[in-house]
Structure 1
Amino acid sequence: MRKEFEINGCIEVQPEITEDEFWSIFIDFVESKGWSFGGGISEIHDGYYILSNGQKGKSVLDENPDL
């Protein structure tokens, strides 16, 4: 039997790292440990979620009013 941990947080990276690069490195790390990951990823810039078209979406504070 395996157990799971739910992750709820942000990882800050250098500005030149793309979402695809980060995702690849993250998944490679997880899989190198024999683990698996189920979930998604959202890019945040200056406190706003970035939409697939590159524009700013909702503020993270709209989703997390306690922050």
Structure 2
Amino acid sequence: MQAQDPTQLVHLLAELRQEHRDLDSAIEQLVTSIGCDELQITRMKKRKLLLKDAIARLESKLIPDLDA
């Protein structure tokens, strides 16, 4: 992966967080609906976990390395 500008990383991080929140809302709506599609919910939850991992990776990139 290429080194990116910190402002680009912050922007991408914001987009991923928004998508994560949107998925959370969509999952909640599907779970409460009658006749919900379990497969779709499972896929959305998996995507949400992948987003969480990507967010954690980006956050760690934004933390400067400190030599001990």
TM-score by length of 2: 0.32
- Quick check: which one's helix share is greater? 2
TM-score by length of 1: 0.33
Q: Which has the higher contact order (CA 8 A, sep 6+)?
A: 2
